[in-house]
Structure 1
Amino acid sequence: MAFAILFFLLILVFSVLRIYTRHGEMHTVPDLSGMTLNEAKEHLKERKLIAYVFDSVYSDEFARGTIVEQHPRHGFKVKQNRKIFLTMNAMNPGKVAMPDLVQLTIRQAEARLQTYGLKLGMISYEPDISINLVLQQKFKNRAINPGDTVIKGSVIDLVLGKGLSNEYSYAPDLTGLTLNEATLRAAESYLRIGGIVYDPEITDEEKETARVYRQKPEHNNGGQMPLGSSVDIWLTNNLEKIPSVEIDSVDSYAPQDSIY
Structure 2
Amino acid sequence: MSSRLLAGRYELIQKIGDGGMAVVYKAKDKLLNRYIAIKILRPEFTKDEVFVENFKRESQAAAKLSHPNIVGVYDVGKEGNINYIVMELVDGRPLSDIIAEEAPMDYRTVINIARQVASALSVAHKNKIIHRDVKPHNILMTKDGVAKLADFGIAKAVNDATLSTGSKVIGSIHYFSPEQARGNYVDERSDIYSLGIVMYEMITGRVPFDGDNPVTVALKHINEDVIPPSEFVSGIPPALERCIMKCTDKFQTNRYSSADELIEELDNIEFVTKMVGESALNKAMETKDQEEEEEDSGKKKKKKKKRHLTPEQKKKRRIIAIVAAICLIPLLVLGVKALTTAKTTVPDLSNMTYAEAKAAAEDAGFKIEKGSSVYSDSVTKNHVADQDPGAGTEAKRGRTITVNLSKGSKDGTVPNVVGMNYDEVEKYLKKYGYKLGVVKEQTSTQAAGTILSQDPEGGADASKGSRVNIVISDGKGKEKATVPSVTGMSLAQAKAAIANAGFTVGNITYDESNVYGNGYVMWQQYAANTQLDKGTTIDIEVSKGKPQTDNGGDSGDTGDSTTTG
Question: TM-score under structure 1 normalisation?
Answer: 0.34
Please tell me whether Structure 1 or Structure 2 has the larger radius of gyration of its CA atoms: 2
Question: TM-score under structure 2 normalisation?
Answer: 0.17
- Between Structure 1 and Structure 2, the one with more strand by share is 1
- Between Structure 1 and Structure 2, the one with more helix by share is 2
